[in-house]
Amino acid sequence: MEMKRVFIVVLDGAGVGSLPDARTYGDEGSNTLGHIASLYKNWCLPNLLSLGLGKIVDIPVTVTRLRGAFGKMTARSPGKDTTSGHWELAGLVLDKPFPVYPSGFPLELIAAFAKAIGRGVLGNVSASGTEIIGRLGEAHLRSGFPIVYTSADSVFQIAAHEEVVSRELLYRWCSIAREEILTGEHAVGRVIARPFIGKPGNFQRTGGRKDFSLVPPGKTILERLQEKGFQVWAVGKVKDVFAARGITHHLEAAGNREIMARLRFALSAKFRGILWATLVDFDMLYGHRNDVNGFARAMEEFDIFLGGMIENLSEGDFLFISADHGCDPTFPGTDHTREYVPILAYTPGINIKDLGIRDTFADMAATIAELFHCKELTAGQSFALELFGRSEHPA
């Protein structure tokens, strides 16, 4: 079989049970999809279940026919953030975590940022994005000072009202923070622009979010494939997470529905290579807001889309579904959780196979590398041979 296209779909925050070291992160007992399944009755996910999700998460629904390979993967990189999770999925394992600031950033760092942008700063706390604009939005309207905040993630987030600070200026401030302030020991994983609109009591974040990520410290599967002449399509924030390294085509999209629309378009496009889409709403809108029902319904909506996607895959097309970390909406707090992530794989004619517990997220990248005869990646172990009979194996 000759590989033509590999579609990677990451369900942001869709963890499947706490990792052995979760206690270190305060996340022992977390299980994003498992806890949702226990609370949301009659969860309707026939397509995900047919790929084997019910074999790695206890979802009380009978599946009559399996048609995919399934397992779960262990995070080898320290931390539980978007950047390290995505990089590891792409074959790059970190040996130390990004810095985090649970009590806010050092005052000298905030002072340097304020001097660089020529105005004061509000906030400098660890907070939920929707909560902090509700609390400080009115002061921001009066002063014009940006709201700076962080979370359990390694992030420096800057919120500003679009009628007070244009998106272009907000992005410029983020570039200053990324390139001039947050370097060396303070090199956080991402600087994030968080524009919002509305009036006091009814502020709303807009689709103008933009991530300013660190440049990956090594080559990922994206760059390896680009160097081999394959196309690498990125949907939505994926381009930003990889600092545009290895990306040949970018499809803009802000939320799950837009991202699925871009996926639908890409299914009809003729290209040879990979497409990576991360569905952000599970984490951003539901996990961080402890919204079990919203998370569950969004998964059902994706599952309907997935049914059509599977039917439109032809010989030589491949689908991987995974996640970058957990974000258990039933767990204390509103932060990410240190969890295993699912690995679901499908292509017409695939072996129905339990892939077990993989040692690293990078096994997915190693498998993709083997499918495309691009074996330079050193992290991870390919499971490509387990997906096909030897006569069918593309290598």
Q: Which pLDDT does position 389 carry in this prediction?
A: 63
Q: For residue range 173-200, what is the model confidence (pLDDT) as tens digits?
A: 999 999 999 999 999 999 999 999 999 9
- Report the distance separating Cα 23 and Cα 312, nearest Å: 42
The CA-CA-CA angle for residues 103, 107, 108, to 5°, reads: 140
Confidence label for 394 from pLDDT (cuts 50, 70 and 90): low
Helix (H) or strand (E) holding 172: helix 167-176
For 4, 105, 249, 317, 334, the CA distances from 271, given in Å and listed in that order, are 7, 44, 11, 11, 39
Count Cβ atoms below 10 Å from residue 393 Cβ, excluding itself. Answer: 14
- Report the distance separating Cα 255 and Cα 280, nearest Å: 6
Q: Which amino acid is at 32?
A: T
The fold adopted by the segment(s) 107-209 is: Alpha-Beta Plaits (3.30.70)
- Report the distance separating Cα 236 and Cα 283, nearest Å: 15
Q: Which pLDDT does position 391 carry in this prediction?
A: 43
Q: How far apart are the first and last CA of the chain?
A: 9
pLDDT greater than 60 at residue 163 = yes
Q: Determine phi and psi for 159, rounding to 5 degrees.
A: -105, 140
pTM, two decimal places: 0.90
Contact 292, 328 (CB under 8 A): no
Q: What is the DSSP letter of 42?
A: T
Mean confidence (pLDDT) of the chain: 93
- Considering 2-6, 40-44, 323-327, the range whose residues carry the highest mean pLDDT is 323-327
pLDDT greater than 50 at residue 140 = yes
* Domain range annotation of the chain: 5-94+214-387, 107-209
Q: Which amino acid is at 89?
A: L
For 33, 49, 61, 65, 298, the CA distances from 43, given in Å and listed in that order, are 11, 11, 8, 17, 11
Detail the DSSP E strand segments found in the chain: 5-11, 69-73, 122-126, 147-150, 155-161, 190-199, 202-205, 210-213, 231-235, 249-251, 273-279, 317-322, 341-346, 354-358
Q: Which amino acid is at 40?
A: Y
Q: Which pLDDT does position 152 carry in this prediction?
A: 78
pLDDT greater than 80 at residue 378 = no
pLDDT greater than 70 at residue 395 = no
Q: How many residues does the chain have?
A: 395
pLDDT greater than 80 at residue 3 = no
Helix (H) or strand (E) holding 321: strand 317-322
Query: Is CATH 3.40.50.1860 the classification given to domain 5-94+214-387?
Result: no
pLDDT greater than 90 at residue 129 = no
Q: Determine phi and psi for 278, rounding to 5 degrees.
A: -110, 120
